[in-house]
Amino acid sequence: MRKMKKFFSIFGTILLLLIALALIFNQPIKEYAVKRISERNLTTLTAKKVKENQKKSGQFDFNKVKPISASQVAKASVNNDAAVIGKMAVPSVNLKLPIVVGLSDNALSTGGGTMKENEKMGKSNYALAGHYMTNKGALFSPLENAQIGNLAYITDMHRVYTYKIYFKKIVPPTAVYLLDDVKGQSILTLITCADGGTNRWALQGSLVSNQPANKGTLAVFS
C-alpha cells in the first residue's frame, strides 16, 4: 500500500511538471487547458453541488490576485477544488463560464470569481472578476468585444437572471466604486484586465428578467 501511494505521488508530480512545461512554452495550450477546466465544471454542475459549494469560504483580497500563470493552470488541471456556485454566459461573444467563490488562483483559473463576500444573484450589485488572456481567448477575454445592449446571464441552477449591458469602459484599478451597491437597483458587474493589466475593462448590466431554471432557460449556458 505504501509503495502504491508513493507511486501515485510521484506520478502526480511528474504529470504536473509535464503540464506546466507544456503551458509555459505554448500559450494556445494554456488557453486550451483553461477552457477544458471551465467546460468540465460547467457540464458537471448540479443544483445540489451549488448548494454545497455556497457554504464554502473564499479569498477576497484583490492584492493577492496575480496574472494567470502556467503553474497555476497546471495545478488547476490536475487538482481543481474551486467552489463552483453557478454559471454565466454572454452569448454575443460566446462566453460561457462557471461562477466560483472568491478570487483565489484556483478560482480564477476556473471561471468568474465573486468579488465580495455573501453576494446574492439578482440582488444589489453582483460583481464578478476574471482573467484576460488574449483577444478572443479564454476566461473573461471575450468581454473586450461585448457591446452595450448585449445580454448577460447568470444562474445558480434554481433561477436564471438576465441582465442588459448598459456600461462598458476602461477604468483604472482604483475604480472600486463600481463594486458599490446602488439603492433600488439590481446590477451585474464584470471586471477584467485591459491595456496589458495596467487598467481594467468594466461592464455593467441591469436586471431585466428573473426566471425559474429549467431546460429552456438553462440552454443559454450549454
Tens digit of each residue's pLDDT (9 = 90 or more) over 109-135 = 999 999 999 899 999 999 999 999 876
pLDDT, average across residues 18-32: 63
Positive or negative: CA dihedral 92, 93, 99, 101: negative
pLDDT, average across residues 126-152: 91
| Enzyme catalytic residues | 131, 193
Question: Could you tell me the pLDDT band of residue 196, with boundaries at 50, 70 and 90?
Answer: confident
When divided into structural domains, the chain yields a total of: 1
Q: Closest Cα partner for 86 from 4, 155, 146?
A: 155
For residue 204, list its beta bridge partners: 167, 189
CATH number at residue 132: 2.40.260.10
- Inter-residue contact 76 to 110 (CB < 8 Å): yes
In the prediction, which pLDDT does 82 show?
87
Q: Give DSSP secondary structure letters for 75-122.
A: HHHH-----EEEEEEEGGGTEEEEEESS--HHHHTTSEEESSTT--TT
Point out the least confidently predicted range of 6-15, 83-92, 134-143, 203-212: 6-15
CA distances from 155 to 68, 69, 170, 214 (A): 25, 28, 26, 11
What is the spatial distance between Cα 209 and Cα 215, in angstroms, rounded to a whole number? Answer: 17
Question: Could you tell me the pLDDT band of residue 25, with boundaries at 50, 70 and 90?
Answer: very low
Range of the domain at 25: 2-221
In the prediction, which pLDDT does 174 show?
93
